[in-house]
A and B are shown apart, each in its own frame.
Chain A
Amino acid sequence: MNLEAVREAVAHVEDPEVPVTLVDLGVVRDVGLADDGDVRVVLRPTRLACPARDEMARRVREAVRSVEPDAGVAVEWELSTWRGDEVSGRGTEVLLQIGYSDPGAAETACPYCGSTKVRREGAFGGAVCKVPFSCRACGSTYDALRGSRSLLAGAPHV
């Protein structure tokens, strides 16, 4: 078993909705070997009800078998709260480019103009993991991921 090759393959698996790898999103928590020799991949959902969980697991299994075709693969979901401040710098850069706020920032800001004069447009967006915002400076609408640091901290919004 070439575990480094397995880790490398899993590192390229992208989230089904945003073009960011699961590693950069902080969803992949561990890749290792179980006692029975199977590859064990631990994932943390952004929200328990994330509808993409099955697809994430399928992609992870596919990635492992792309380098270890005969490997058994156990995908385990961790019972932990996902945190936006664990998204990598590379992941954050992509999220900003596609219209999400910086998940690790202490204060939410418009991903298009950088203004912090923003307004939360409700508690629920188009998916369980999204919170809708609008920018009072440039008029853009954007989403914040629900586990973003600024939302976990309960920061006030204009």
Chain B
Amino acid sequence: MGKPESIDALLPPLAGKAELVRRLAAVLPPECLFDATEDMTPYECDGLSAWRTVPLVVALPQNEAQVAAVMKICNEVRVPIVPRGAGTGLSGGAQPHSGGVTLGLSKMKSILALDPVARTARVQPGVRNLAISEAAARHGLYYAPDPSSQIACSIGGNVAENSGGVHCLKYGLTVHNLLALRLVTIEGEILELGGEGLDAAGYDLMALITGSEGLLGIVTEITVKLLPKPQLARVVMAAFDSLERAGEAVANIIAAGIIPAGLEMMDQLATGAVEQFVHAGYPLDAAAVILCESDGTPEEVAAEIEHMSQVLRDSGATECRLSRDDAERLLFWSGRKAAFPAVGRLMPDYYCMDGTIPKRRLGEVLKGIAALSQQFDLKCPNVFHAGDGNLHPLIMFDANVPGQQERAEEFGARILELCVEVGGTITGEHGVGIEKINQMCVQFGTAEIETFHAVKHAFDPVGLLNPGKAIPTLQRCAEYGAMHVSRGKEAFSDLPRF
């Protein structure tokens, strides 16, 4: 985990706190502006709760005009802005800046329009992910990306992180399900990106903004695509007596031409942790459990389930159970969705990793994690978006035991570096934030990082938006120790090539 970076590039603020508050109070109602420490405590961290900082000021604008006004003021007085959605992010992207304004979008939570014929919804950034699907349900429609935190996380945060979910192999990530954005620039200018058609004019800035972690602008309006809700979904739960065999089964399913609606794997430590919590009926003697879901018309699901079950059995599944009804399907899924809190019940603290790897390297990576687990003497159950190669090792530790948190962080850093070594990435869906800022230096070389800074400069020349997050300075990478060369680039030389 990276320590929050000082923002040397910034000039000292041109106004003191009192002056800033006075100016913000002129554009925000009193209930939308906090500057007393006790009022700002709820904003001192996001889902990465190990790091806490009280911001200088919290601003909670109610509309786009107020967002633009706050941006203009901060730009004039050179005060950093940290955008924040629901605060559920896991990488510290909304970690406050002690000298900056935390700009929360939680009051902007209206669904502005829902067009059931064109199948689109225009919403404000503070709308919860699940609320979109709830509003669309009466038209038989839904919003597909479903991060596990979907009951709480906001769509604005989803755009900032390019969130995924358990169905993204078939239905795509946030970036694949957006049509248009309104963006307020650091100068307070309002830009429209994308449109109501499928393609946008000029450069594809939608893709650039999605996943940019609040470093390029503040999204104030989002038009999402809605999909017809599948008529039916069923899930097969398959047990395996080795992780390798389960990994092969995943590859065999894809190679058989099947794109499951969801394809998840849990190892024995993970199923053991969740079973005592949700009683989903997972076989506890299995080394790995796979959940493989099919959705569509009844005919599609019947054909696909038969095909999936055959492949799973041929791949050596020791047990295959098909959900009888929707209640049982949700029960099978409940364990997977509750994996994080279940692990949290077994240990005071856990640290959730998010690397993505080519699926064929799974066996080797899991072995590597097991070896690291012994080396650092910390347990690490694994849950895995198997279909798209996104691993979530959960490193268990107790922050009250001296040294454990440091060991957990070092263990996590080594897992991410292992992911990069096998041709993967340090983050599949949680974002870099402050958490993985050092590992960015492993994944990218100097020229790539300079390119990121050039893009940032085109949007935010002074560097006021979410400074110190997502993209490391070259100086930080130099201090982290030329890791790109020693553990990144050279490690690729033994990658098998087609």
Are A and B part of the same complex? no
